[in-house]
Amino acid sequence: DQQVKQNSPSLSVQEGRISILNCDYTNSMFDYFLWYKKYPAEGPTFLISISSIKDKNEDGRFTVFLNKSAKHLSLHIVPSQPGDSAVYFCAAVSSGSARQLTFGSGTQLTVLP
In this structure, what are the phi and psi dihedrals at residue 84, rounded to the nearest 5 degrees?
A: -80, -10
Which part of the chain contacts another protein (CB under 8 A), choosing from 13-21, 34-42, 63-71, 78-86?
34-42
Could you say whether residue 21 binds another protein (CB under 8 A)?
Answer: no
Q: How far apart are CA 68 and CA 17, in angstroms?
A: 27
Which of residues 14 and 27 has its CB atom nearest to another protein in the complex? 27
Is the Cα torsion angle 66, 7, 34, 81 positive or negative in sign? negative
The answer to the question of residue 20 lying near another protein (CB under 8 A) is no
Among 77, 106, 109, 111, binds another protein (CB under 8 A): 106
